[in-house]
Structure 1
Amino acid sequence: MTEVLNEAIADYEQKLFWQTLNEQVERTQREDPEGWAEYLAEREAFLGPRPRSRQIAPEWEGLITFPEEKDETNPR
């Protein structure tokens, strides 16, 4: 029983972390677009430009929809 509770708590904490992070990123994009642009430029300078196309393993084809490919009429 304790193990189940520990797993549930860890799962909740992880979800809460990512939810908070996403909210902070969205707030930064909205409230400080200049700072966000600087961050993206610095990230690109450090990591290099993002690939123009995304290639995924064949077994994942059709299972993943990237944000730029998202169809608003399809809920998935």
Structure 2
Amino acid sequence: MTEVLHNAIADYEQKQFWQTVNEQIEHTQREDPEGWADYLTEREFVLGPRPRSRRIAPEWDGLITFPEEKDETNAR
């Protein structure tokens, strides 16, 4: 029983963490577009340019929704 509660709490904390991260990202995009653009430029410098296409293993096809695809289907 203790393990179940521990796992539930850990899962909740992880969800809260990522929700906070997403809210902060959205806030930065909205309130500081210049800072967000600087971040994206620096990220591209460090990680390199994004690939033109996303090739994934056939067994993963249809199971992953990339952000670009999500934006097209999400009216928000």
Pairwise TM-score range, normalised by the shorter structure: 0.7 to 0.9
How many residues were matched structurally? 73
| 1: CA distance, partners of 2:48 / 2:34 | 20
**Structure with bigger RCO (C-alpha 8 Å, 6+ apart):** 1
Report the TM-score when normalising by structure 2: 0.88
Higher helix residue share: 2
1:1-76 matches, cutoff 5 A: 1-70=1-70, 71-72=72-73
For structure 1, the residue ranges without an aligned partner over 5 or more in a row are none
Structure 1's consecutive aligned runs of 4 or more residues displaced over 3 angstroms after TM superposition are: none
For structure 2, the residue ranges without an aligned partner over 5 or more in a row are none
RMSD: 1.4
